[in-house]
């Protein structure tokens, strides 16, 4: 199976590359940006085109949101002309005001923000004009590297002693980019074998949590690991922010359909964070070892 991935530096694109390197049944072609000439589809002849999500569209510059939507729609038209399936991942922030309970796939977002409405309109066009598509709504992605990585930036900030601010009244399901990459490839493999289960799906980590609790847990786990290694590091503090005084805003995606259709289980974000913290510490050891090596001529 050959996949064409856009936005090479995105944390999800990097995760897809890592996952494909562990397999012998997937070939990736990765383009640097979102601009895709229709002729490129002819050259690559992929089995699917994957577009990573625009993270934090609520706080993104409106021009960036519009540019992302226009790029996705241009890709949709090219895919329609050449009968190539399109996979578009989109942030759960489209559910701007959240829901009291879990959010099912059939619930179409109805945000008030103009930029978010523009993204919803793009999704509606894909559903109307491109039968073979997957729109995958994901929780906040985290990874160690790449754009929109969050966890890597968070660890660097804490290790540098910087204060980190996070909302205590916004509840969501943090989602590992590695877990999303594994799920997407598995879903597309099944589609490639004739599953024919196109449509919209939700994919997020288990255990709803506030942004403040997530960041605080990461700080605690980081401190524990550094202390266990004999390092004395004054980590940055975590400050709780409150935006919704009446009741917390909940964006909890119901991922039942992706399990029933593709057998994709949600991954616990705590385990994924722990694994990535181990990798971060290992890279820290390697960097320290490089610095201690004597200079070479």
Q: How far apart are CA 74 and CA 66, in angstroms?
A: 12
Res 30 pLDDT > 90: yes
Express as a percent the part of the chain with pLDDT over 70: 96
| Each residue's pLDDT tens digit, 198-245 | 999 999 999 999 999 999 999 999 999 999 888 888 999 999 998 766
pLDDT band at 285 (very low <50, low <70, confident <90, very high): confident
Tell me the CATH number of domain 2-141+177-204+251-267, given options 3.30.1330.10, 3.40.50.300, 3.20.20.60, 3.40.50.720.
Answer: 3.40.50.720
Mean residue pLDDT of the chain comes to 93
pTM (two decimals): 0.93
- Position 286 pLDDT exceeds 90: no
The residue ranking higher by pLDDT, 296 or 9, is 9
Banded pLDDT at 290 (limits 50, 70, 90): low
β-strand partners of 253: 103
| Phi, psi for residue 78 in degrees, rounded to 5 | -65, -40
* Cβ contact 29:46 at 8 Å: yes
187: nearest Cα among 272, 53, 87 = 87
How far apart are the C-alpha atoms of 188 and 204, rounded to whole Å? 18
Joined together, the tokens standing for residue 108 give 């179409």
pLDDT of residue 297: 41
pLDDT of residue 291: 59
């Amino acid at each position: 199976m050959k996949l064409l991935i856009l936005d090479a530096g995105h944390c999800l694109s990097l995760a897809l590359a890592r996952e494909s390197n562990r397999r012998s049944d997937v070939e990736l072609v990765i383009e640097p940006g979102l601009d895709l000439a229709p002729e490129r589809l002819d050259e690559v002849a992929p089995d699917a085109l994957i577009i990573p999500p625009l993270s934090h569209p609520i706080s993104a510059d409106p021009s960036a949101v519009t540019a992302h939507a226009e790029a996705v729609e241009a890709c949709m038209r090219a895919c329609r002309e050449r009968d190539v399936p399109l996979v578009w991942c989109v942030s759960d922030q489209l559910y701007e005001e959240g829901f009291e309970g879990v959010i099912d796939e059939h619930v179409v977002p109805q945000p008030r923000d103009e930029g978010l409405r523009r993204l919803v309109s793009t999704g509606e066009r894909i559903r109307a004009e491109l039968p073979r598509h997957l729109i995958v709504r994901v929780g906040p992605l985290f990874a160690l590297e790449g754009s929109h990585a969050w966890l890597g930036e968070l660890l660097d900030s804490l290790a540098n002693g910087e204060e980190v601010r996070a909302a205590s009244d916004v509840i969501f399901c943090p989602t590992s980019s590695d877990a999303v990459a594994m799920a997407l490839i598995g879903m597309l493999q099944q589609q490639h074998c004739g599953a024919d289960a196109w449509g919209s799906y939700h994919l997020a980590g288990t255990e709803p949590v506030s942004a403040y609790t997530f960041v605080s847990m990461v700080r605690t786990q980081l401190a524990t690991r550094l202390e266990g290694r004999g390092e004395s590091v004054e980590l940055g503090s975590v400050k709780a922010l409150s935006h919704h005084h009446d009741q917390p805003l909940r964006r909890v995606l119901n991922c039942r359909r992706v399990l029933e259709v593709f057998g994709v289980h949600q991954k616990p974000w705590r385990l994924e964070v722990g694994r990535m913290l181990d990798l971060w510490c290992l890279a820290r050891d390697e960097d320290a070892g490089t610095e201690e090596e004597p200079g070479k001529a």
